[in-house]
A = this chain, B = another copy of it.
Amino acid sequence: MSTPLRLGIAGLGTVGAGVVKIVQRKAELLTARTGRSVEIVAVSARNRDKDRGVRLKDYAWEDDPVALARRDDVDLFVELMGGSDGPAKAATEAAIAGGKDVVTANKAMLALHGQDLALAAEEAGVALRFEAAVAGGIPVVKALTEGLAGNEVQRVMGVMNGTCNYILTRMEHAGLPYEEVFEEANALGYLEADPTLDVGGIDAGHKLSLLSAIAFGTQVDFGSVELEGIERIEIADIEQARDMGFRIKLLGVAQMTGRGLEQRMAPCLVPADSPLGQLEGGTNMVVLEGDAVGQIVLRGAGAGEGPTASAVMSDVLDIARGIRVSTFGQPASSLEKPVPAKATAPAPFYLRMELQDKPGALAKVATVLGEAGVSIDRMRQYRHQRTTAPVLFVTHKCPREALDRALVAMGATGVVEGHPVAIRIEEV
């Protein structure tokens, strides 16, 4: 039996406490699996006195996570504080500089500083792993980095923010508007302190940028993720989409195209009978597409104590087993700087607008679409409500630019009230 793997854990929130519980309660099982005992030697958090439902007094306490990261008796630094900069980054850098392996659940830190940190880890000869940063308990970082290592990855998609999926499915099932369900979710404690991180797609965008780096061998580039939140999704669109066999999801899509790397985190329509379309509530789903393997779908809890702690432990136990894989699947020094695609790949679109009750109104709109090169797959006009009638289009595949030209021209026709809603339909 080799020497124990000694952990220093910084951050004792839900996930930190979950990790402590697993290490304490499953010592024998973990040792049987890895051939090495896993021990916690020191911990750090903001408030020493808080009751976290776990016994901590056997461990050294550090007020300063950087001091924890520097301790001589720590082999592996587990960063569970969160925050892209500040103490989390300082402590991670200190651990790496001190020759310690690092496991983190911090998507924001890696989305913004992943390349620098991975380079530093590489130079120091230590591991920097982050299974828990993406899609909670789903072992997707491992599946992509190791399971699909023989594939050229073609596309990565994912519903990776449970709160947004909860809001969208709750709107649909209860027939409630966004604002009302947002308040409900807030009252239930489902939202981050800054809710824009969730509903603005930022949190999910962070995760997408990490998967994208692994998938395409490129440096993490969160800055070029096209971000659109769910704040403007109306119940009318959810219902109309459903009627036409689609559901609306906050979907992340990353693909390498001839025009560069495309990364989008935005509401999309997906077929209601696809695995993504069937996803309810707070569950996460990631879809990986490789040239050899075809499509692999992974589904599970994207947050919460147990699932996230399970992912943290997956990295910890890999290290206990001696498994060492580069942070993004290949040496950070060999990752290329991606060229962001200037335009997104063509797609079909869903369009909803309010058409004024004037003769020839529909013809004008149809003409404008045709002139912009947007052809129509399906159309529905509903009965007039007061002075306007809701009209829906599903277009054939077209470039987003063509659609945007049509939308501008539509404004000039004088027959469309307000702004039309346009949502991409992702072919899954």
- Which residues on A are within 8 Å of B, measured CB to CB? 18, 22, 26, 29-30, 32-35, 131, 137-139, 142-143, 146-152, 217, 273, 275, 278, 290-301, 304, 306-307, 309-314, 316-318, 321-325, 329-331, 334
Contact = CB atoms under 8 A, between A and B. Distances in A.
Contacts of A217: 29, 32-33
A275 to B, nearest CB: 6
Contact of A33 (B29, B139, B294, B329): B329
Nearest to A21: B292
B314 A292 contact: no
Candidate in A26, A297, A310, A322 with the most chain B CB atoms within 10 angstroms: A310
A330 B323 CA distance: 14
Nearest to A305: B292
Given A137-B293, A292-B22, A321-B325, A331 B146 contact: no
Nearest to A140: B147
Main secondary structure of the interface of A (DSSP, over half): mixed
B292 A146 contact: no
A278 to B, nearest CB: 6
A172 to B, nearest CB: 15
A137 B137 CA distance: 20
Contacts of A334: 32
A294 B306 contact: yes
Contact of A146 (B137, B299, B314): B314
A146 B318 contact: yes
10 contacts: A137-B294, A148-B314, A275-B275, A290-B310, A294-B304, A296-B299, A297-B299, A321-B325, A323-B323, A323-B325
Contact of A293 (B152, B306, B322): B306
Contacts of A292: 18, 22, 137, 306-307, 309-310, 313
Contact of A149 (B34, B138, B149, B322): B34
Contact of A310 (B32, B33, B34, B148): B148
Nearest to A34: B149
A150 B296 contact: no
Nearest to A314: B147
Given A32-B334, A317-B150, A324-B322, A301 B294 contact: yes
A38 to B, nearest CB: 9
Query: Assembly of this chain: how many copies?
Result: 2
Nearest to A22: B150
A293 B314 CA distance: 11
Contacts of A297: 297-300
A323 B148 CA distance: 15
Given A278-B278, A321-B325, A152 B26 contact: yes
B143 A143 contact: yes
A147 to B, nearest CB: 3
B146 A296 contact: no
A267 to B, nearest CB: 23
Contacts of A301: 293-295
A30 B310 contact: no
B150 A313 contact: yes
A30 B314 contact: no
Given A146-B314, A317-B149, A33 B291 contact: no
A354 to B, nearest CB: 35
Given A150-B30, A293-B137, A324-B322, A35 B300 contact: no
A150 B331 contact: no
A191 B307 CA distance: 39
A407 to B, nearest CB: 36
A107 B60 CA distance: 48
Contacts of A275: 275, 278, 299
Given A150-B30, A275-B275, A298-B298, A293 B321 contact: no
Given A29-B217, A298-B298, 14 more contacts: A26-B152, A29-B152, A33-B217, A139-B296, A146-B314, A146-B321, A147-B314, A150-B314, A273-B278, A290-B310, A292-B306, A292-B310, A293-B311, A294-B307
